[in-house]
Chains A and B, each alone.
Chain A
Amino acid sequence: MEPQQLFEGSSPEFDFLGEVKAGFPSPAESIREHLDLTSLLVRHRASTFFFRVDGVSMVEADMDEGDILIVDRALEPYNGCRAVCFLDGEFTVKTVEISENGAVLRPANPAYPPIPVGPENNFSVWGVVTWVIKKCTP
């Protein structure tokens, strides 16, 4: 697949090379490398989406209010994955336990009960959560 600019604006880049103001030329001058955060966090550009967290049912899985989730639809849901699920008309994020009898959506907060999912539910896994972006400053 060819690289594609799918997202507005430029991706964050970190230059490690300071400017050389004077003196003899730096041997690093011709080397232009940088770290692109997107290349780390987004494996499949076409299938990756971002969601913002609202609610506290996953606090023990380190998903707090205001965090940004990176969600990849290209990943096959696996037993124990954390995923954005669509359940009876609403999005939610839970740990998905897949068994022969169906699935259970398990919260990561003792105050919330697990949700069994059966054929009577309108349920689908929308996409697997691959990263959580957390802001550490106020």
Chain B
Amino acid sequence: MYALADCNNFFASCERVFRPELNGKPVIVLSNNDGCAVARSNEAKALGIPMGAPLFKIRDIVKANNVAVFSGNYALYGEMSARVQAVLREFSPSVEQYSIDEAFLDLTGIKADFDAYAKAISARCWRDTSIPVSVGIAPTKTLAKIASKLCKQYPKLKGGCYMHRPQDIEKVLRKFPVADVWGIGRRSVKKLDVMGVKTAWDYAQLPEETVRKLFALPGWRTRQELRGIPCIGLEDLPQDRQSICVSRSFAHEITQPAQLAEQVANFAEAVVEKLRKQGSLALEMVVFAFTNRFKENAPQAHEARVVVFPEGEADYRKLVPAAVRACQEIYRPGYGYKKAGVVVTKLMSAVSATGSLFADSEAAQRDARLSGAIESINRSFGPGAIRFGVQGSGEVYSTREHQSPHYTTRWEDIPTVKL
């Protein structure tokens, strides 16, 4: 059994933690330079503010409805994300952080009333962190994702939904658009539309051979998952093109921080290479490291860190140092690391981004050469021997007129309470 815990309108919810008066009011969070709305509370969605709407286009709605507007505060979001993850770990020994606001839990071996369990996870996240979380539990990861979406649609479910009876699954899938199924890419949707496949149920009913022929192994796995047959394990990474992963199991356990950092730097570099090849920018990067879970008496660690790039990023000089820094945060002495990896998720096309990064291929090559030189120096003298001057947070800001304080990460910014 798997659970998917998805934070509702995560960035907007983070902004409400220390501003409870904004509960029930429309809230939006803007992209870098205060350009577009990248997160919306339910109330903002109800006002008809579309995802990605440029601020200048929605100024009237914002003004007329007194919408609370925030610039992205990624220090706050990252820290709140780590808190939610810590709560989730109390409900399962294996938690896979999928993105800054989503995590899968492997519930294998856990005996519980899963409907109550889902609701309990949601309630605990709310009590401890003040973040509303939708928890779906189902026999496969793909179905768990769908179950968590039901929680958002139906407040009656109290944040938790256990979906397992075949007749319930059928009822839900018959209404669930195939385009919203995890792992079904935009290109597949076009093909499916022509074939008259509109819902998740339609897709699950397609003959196995057809699916294999048209959508290869990943598409077949999604079909099986929709039928309740688990095909995607916890460490398997999402099969859609919305992410790129480079990871490896090590022949020998790594115990030294410098060694682990070196591996992670290599993975990050390989990821950037692929990212640039397909012309994408990454909005998020996940760095993870696991101990050997089959070694029973050894201390276990299964950690991940998310780095957010609000504008999208495909630059070695940004991604590699950020990955190394995340790795340093994950590393704990006394643990033997067996596997590590770097994943970029939430990819967007570089062409649609402002100021195309790939317009200047000479500059891109220069980046690559520079990166290579730095790599070889660090190989000889140890990671971090030479570093990027910009190495810091992986976040680039310019305009952030509406940014909230760094409530949870800077002493001078902690909230004040009037007595």
Contacts and interface: CB of A to CB of B under 8 A. Distances in A.
A74 B409 CA distance: 20
B127 interface: yes
Given A5-B329, A6-B79, A73-B128, A51 B86 contact: no
Contacts of A26: none
B86 A1 contact: yes
A131 interface: no
Contacts of B79: 6-8
Nearest to A47: B128
A89 B23 CA distance: 10
A32 B79 CA distance: 30
Nearest to B20: A86
Contacts of B84: 46
Nearest to B124: A74
B83 interface: yes
A91 B415 contact: yes
Contact of B414 (A51, A57, A91): A51
A44 B21 CA distance: 25
B419 A57 contact: yes
Contacts of B83: 6, 45-47
A88 to B, nearest CB: 9
Contact of A54 (B410, B411, B419): B419
Contacts of A51: 414-417
A2 B419 contact: no
A25 to B, nearest CB: 23
A114 to B, nearest CB: 14
A3 B335 CA distance: 13
A96 to B, nearest CB: 14
A84 B409 CA distance: 19
A52 B414 contact: yes
A6 B408 CA distance: 9
Interface residues of A, number: 38
B327 to A, nearest CB: 13
Interface in A49-98: 49-58, 63, 68-69, 73-74, 84, 86, 89-94
A68 B414 contact: yes
Contacts of A1: 86, 89-90
Contacts of A8: 75, 79, 409-410
Nearest to A126: B20
A92 B414 CA distance: 15
Nearest to A68: B414
Contacts of B332: 3
Which of the listed residues B20, B83, B419 has the most CB atoms from chain A within 10 Å of its own CB? B419
Nearest to A61: B419
B411 to A, nearest CB: 8
B103 to A, nearest CB: 13
A53 B86 contact: no
B189 interface: no
A6 B82 contact: yes
A69 to B, nearest CB: 7
Interface in B367-419: 407-411, 414-419
Contacts of A58: 419
Nearest to A90: B418
B33 interface: no
A89 B87 contact: no
B20 A2 contact: no
A65 B329 CA distance: 35
Nearest to B125: A46
B348 interface: no
Contacts of B90: 1
Contacts of A54: 416-419
Interface in A88-110: 89-94, 107
B410 A46 contact: no
Interface in B172-197: none
B410 to A, nearest CB: 7
B242 interface: no
A39 interface: no
B42 interface: no
Given A6-B79, A73-B129, A46 B87 contact: yes
Given A46-B129, A47-B128, 4 more contacts: A7-B409, A52-B417, A73-B128, A73-B130
24 contacts: A1-B89, A4-B82, A5-B329, A6-B86, A8-B79, A44-B128, A45-B86, A46-B129, A47-B127, A49-B415, A51-B415, A52-B415, A54-B416, A54-B417, A55-B418, A58-B419, A74-B128, A91-B417, A91-B418, A92-B417, A92-B418, A93-B417, A93-B419, A126-B130
Closest 6 CB pairs of A and B: A55-B419, A47-B128, A46-B86, A57-B419, A46-B83, A89-B21
